[in-house]
Each structure stands twice: as structure tokens, then as C-alpha cells.
Structure 1
Amino acid sequence: MDKKDAQLLSLLQEDASMGLNDLAKAVSLSPTPCWRRIQKLRAEGVIRQQVVLCDPAKLNLGLTAFVSIRVNQHNDVWTERFVQGIRDIREIVEIYRMAGDVDYLLKVVVPDVAAYDQVYKRLIKVAELFDVSAGFAMEVVKYTTALPLDYVGDL
């Protein structure tokens, strides 16, 4: 990956709907080499997918909860059951297995506390959990899906 690839990624992370001609012009390439670079980035898995980012508030999802889970089982059978069960809860939009005091961290988006309570009730039925604790976001201070490109090797 070189600087042109990084420039393309930076532009696409900000607006994946940007047209090929505009992308090519922005990175000083003609459209065909630009298209080839993008296709190569896709083939290599650098570009995983293109999506539309929706405004949660406009979809009646005004409450974001960060749920910390501690467990007392760490075997394969329990883990598989837990992971499959929480993946099926649509309101859980991010799942992280953590190091430290918390075993899993979940990001949950719902309309309100009552809806969170419904998610919580489904969550605790998935598998035996030692502790479930939630914090509710009061304000989004920073939100981005764009990854920093400063750490790419050849740049």
C-alpha cells in the first residue's frame, strides 16, 4: 500500500458514494488505474464492505447503552452459546471480548430505558452471567467510522 492507496481510503472512509472520476481527480490518477487500486484494496480485504450510516435519533434509537459483562465460565461450549445468542439480538450493534475486569463489552441502541430493559431480559436468558452492568451515553462527543491511516507500513 502506498500514499495513493491511503488517500483513496481516506476519501472513501469519508464518503463511499464518491464517484470514480472524482476520486481519481482527487488523488491525481486517471479513472482506470484508480479503479484498479480500489479493486485491489477490496480483493486484499482492506476494504471490507461499503455501508450506509444512519442517524440513530432519526430511527427512534435515542438511547445508547454500553453493557459490561463479567462471566464465571470460560469454556468453549458456554462461549459458543453466549456469542451466538448475543449476535441474534439486533439491538446489540457491537460486541467486544475484553481483557481485564470485564469479559465482554456490548454497545446497545434502543429507543429508551424500557426498551433497554427488554434487551436486558433477553440477554440474561442467553447464558449464565456473573454480572451485567450498563452505562448510558449522555452525549456523543466523537463518533467516526474512519480508521487512522498513519500506521500503514509503507507510508
Structure 2
Amino acid sequence: MSKIDALDLKILNALQHESDLGLEELGDIVGLSRNACWRRIKALEEAGIIRGRVALLDAKKLDLGLSVFIQIKAAAHDASWLEQFARATRDMNQIQGVYRMTGDLDYLIRARVADMADYDRLYQTLVTRVPMGDVSASFVMEEIKDTTALPLL
């Protein structure tokens, strides 16, 4: 795929808000035939722009009502610690995102757990798998905005 044009952006915007749109409906939204939409979607997938399609679940209805941000200061700043940390966090399904940061902390983890006891289990597992310099957590009291949509249009 050489370049993304305005029609590709319309397709991407529509799909990131409702990934299960039929080709007919998507074509009506963006002004293309279903075959043209299909070809563009395939090209976007092959280019890695569309990485996958998922269902967004309601965490609270699945008893995962506590969202937590965990701030980490690394115990070491070498490749082996980073690999151990990356492997440990990738293997823990409660962890939804891990970010290397600038500023006072080294890493920020975004996680979903059922409650404080569940968070404590996550914390205990994490610190037994990887030596930490400092760990602190902030718990979300209210989710005002939470989206996966990128600002395309």
C-alpha cells in the first residue's frame, strides 16, 4: 500500500467505531461499492494498518470493575531487567498496557482487576517475577472517557 487517501480514512474511521459493518453498509457510508471496500480493507490489512478486529467488552459486567494505573521505577536499567519486565507483564492478562515513560517514573502499567484483593494478587505476582525499585498505584474512581478510536477525521 503506497498511500492512505481520504476514502481509506473514512473506511478506517467507520471500522474503528463499528468493526462488524457489512460491506454494503460500509460502502454506503464511504461512497464505494462493496468490492471496492473489500479491496481497500484487504490492502489496509496487508499493510498492517488494520491489525485485527475485536469485540469491546463491558468490564464491570464481567466483574472487572477496578481500573488501576501502576507506576514503576525500575530496579535496574539494563537489557536483562527490561526483558524480564517485558516478559512478565506480557504474560499477565490483567495488564492491558505497559508504557516506558519520561519523567519521574520509568513505566506506567494500565490494568483491570475485580477488586482490591485482585489488585493485591496482581501486585504480588508482579514483584515476585521482577525486582522493582518502587511501585505505586492509582485507582480510577470514574471513567470519563475511554476509547480505542484514533483521531482520524
How do residues 43-122 of structure 1 correspond to structure 2 at under 5 angstroms?
Answer: 43-122=46-125
Q: Quick one: distance in 1 between partners of 2:147 and 2:104?
A: 27
Q: Which residue of 2 aligns with 1:140?
A: 143
Tell me which amino acid in the other structure corresponds to 1:74: H
Tell me which amino acid in the other structure corresponds to 1:20: L
Displacement of 1:109? 0.6
Q: Quick one: distance in 2 between partners of 1:11 and 1:86?
A: 32
Q: Which residue of 2 aligns with 1:126?
A: 129
Q: Quick one: distance in 2 between partners of 1:144 and 1:81?
A: 30
1:82-109 per-residue CA deviation (whole Å, 9 max, x = no partner) reads: 1101211111111111111111110111
Q: CA RMSD in A?
A: 0.9
Q: Quick one: distance in 1 between partners of 2:29 and 2:85?
A: 46
Q: Which residue of 2 aligns with 1:40?
A: 43
- Aligned sequence identity (%): 44
* Unaligned residue ranges in structure 2 (runs of 5+): none
> What SS is found at the alignment partner of 1:68?
strand
1:32-60 per-residue CA deviation (whole Å, 9 max, x = no partner) reads: 11111111111111111101110000110
Q: How many equivalent pairs are there?
A: 150
Tell me which amino acid in the other structure corresponds to 1:115: D
Q: Which residue of 2 aligns with 1:29?
A: 32
Q: Quick one: distance in 2 between partners of 1:121 and 1:29?
A: 53
Q: Quick one: distance in 2 between partners of 1:72 and 1:128?
A: 6
Q: Indicate if the aligned counterparts of 1:86 and 1:126 stay in contact, CA closer than 8 A.
A: no
Displacement of 1:72? 3.4
> What SS is found at the alignment partner of 1:130?
strand
1:8-43 per-residue CA deviation (whole Å, 9 max, x = no partner) reads: 111001000000010011111111111111111111
Tell me which amino acid in the other structure corresponds to 2:116: V
Tell me which amino acid in the other structure corresponds to 2:24: N
Which TM-score applies when normalising by structure 2? Answer: 0.95
Q: Quick one: distance in 2 between partners of 1:7 and 1:70?
A: 41
